[in-house]
Amino acid sequence: MTVAPRSSAGRPAFTSITPVRAYEGVVSQIEEAIFEGRLVAGDRLPSERDLMGQFGVSRGTVREALRVLESNGLTRSRPGDPGGATVLGQSSGRLTKALTTFARLGQIGAAELIEFRMVVEGSAVRLAAELHDESSLAAMEAAFEAMKVAADESSEAFSAADVSFHLAVSACSGNSLLSACSEFSRDMVLHLTSENLRDSGDPPERMQETLRRHGAYLHAIVAREGRRAEQLARQDLFDYYGGELTERERARLEILLMV
C-alpha cells in the first residue's frame, strides 16, 4: 500500500487509486494516516471535493469511504458542515466493537467466551490488587457500595451497578486493552446466557451471592493479595456460568482455576 506523504501545508497528501472498489483504497489510506499519527484527534479531513481530486474518484466513492470511517469510529461528520470530517481520538470502544463483530461472525460460543473472560478478568483483578493506588481503590469500593444499594432497588439497577464495578476493577489494572477485552467478553457472555440466567433461581438470592463473591475478591484486592484475588475472580465466573456448560466445557475451565 502506498503511504501518503506530507504535503507542503503539513497535511497528508493522498495519492490516486484504482477505481475497483475504490472506496476501500480511500479508507485504507486515511486509516494509515491516522494510525501513523499523521492525522490526529481534532484534525479535519479535506472537503469532499478536495478528496475527490486527491484520490481521483467520484463523490459517491468519497461519501462511502467517509461512511465506513465514521462507522469504524475513526472520524465524525456533521450534516451541513462545509468542512471535512473530524478525526476522532483513539478509543478502546473501537476494539470492543471489532471483537464483537468477530465473535458474532465467527459464531464463537459461550464456553469460549467464558474461558476468555476468566483469563482477561482474572489478569485485570490481579494487576488491580498489585498496582492500585488510593484513588483507584476508592473508585472500586464506591462501585461496590453502589451494588449493595442497587440490590434493594431492582435487578436492572443491580446489573448496571455490577457492570460499573467490573469497569472500575479493569480500569484499575492500568491496561486499556484488558479493559476493552473485559468489556467485550462480559457483554457477549451476557448476551448469550441472559435468557437462561434470568429464568433460573431467585434474583434476590443471586444478587446477594454476587455481592458475597465480589466482596471477597475486592477484599483480596485491598490486601494486595494478587494471586488470591485472581483465583476468586476466576472461581466467581466459573460458578456463575458453569451450569450453562457441558461437562467437557467445564473441564476446560477448571484448568484456568489452577493458577
Residue with cell 469497569: 167
Domain count of the fold of the chain = 2
What is residue 83's three-state secondary structure?
coil
147 within a domain of the structure (yes/no): yes
**98 and 69 fall within a common domain:** no
Backbone conformation region of residue 224, classed left if phi is above 0, alpha if psi is from -120 to 50, else beta: left
- Residue 246 sits in a domain whose CATH number is 1.20.120.530
**129 and 65 fall within a common domain:** no
Could you list the residue range(s) of the whole structural domain that residue 96 is in?
92-256
**164 and 205 fall within a common domain:** yes
Domain boundary, last residue among 56, 87, 118: 87
Quick: pLDDT tens for 143-195: 999 999 999 988 888 888 888 899 899 999 988 888 888 888 877 777 666 55
**249 and 123 fall within a common domain:** yes
Q: What is the largest CA-CA distance in the chain?
A: 67
**57 and 153 fall within a common domain:** no
**248 and 120 fall within a common domain:** yes
5 within a domain of the structure (yes/no): no
77 within a domain of the structure (yes/no): yes
**156 and 192 fall within a common domain:** yes
Residue 139 is placed in which grid cell? 473508585
- Residue 77 sits in a domain whose CATH number is 1.10.10.10
> Which amino acid belongs to residue 229?
A
115 within a domain of the structure (yes/no): yes
Quick: pLDDT tens for 44-87: 999 999 999 999 999 999 999 998 888 777 888 877 677 789 98
pLDDT at site 200: 52
7 within a domain of the structure (yes/no): no
For the ranges 33-47, 103-117, 204-218, 228-242, the lowest mean pLDDT is seen at: 103-117
Domain boundary, last residue among 87, 120, 135: 87
pLDDT at site 144: 96
17 within a domain of the structure (yes/no): no
Backbone conformation region of residue 201, classed left if phi is above 0, alpha if psi is from -120 to 50, else beta: left
Asked if 54 contacts 4 with a C-beta cutoff of 8 angstroms, the reply is: no
**160 and 246 fall within a common domain:** yes
Quick: pLDDT tens for 217-248: 999 999 999 999 999 999 999 998 888 899 99
Domain boundary, last residue among 34, 65, 87: 87
**55 and 180 fall within a common domain:** no
**148 and 50 fall within a common domain:** no
The rounded distance, in Å, linking the Cα atoms of 105 and 37 is: 30
The rounded distance, in Å, linking the Cα atoms of 146 and 69 is: 38
**73 and 169 fall within a common domain:** no
**111 and 224 fall within a common domain:** yes
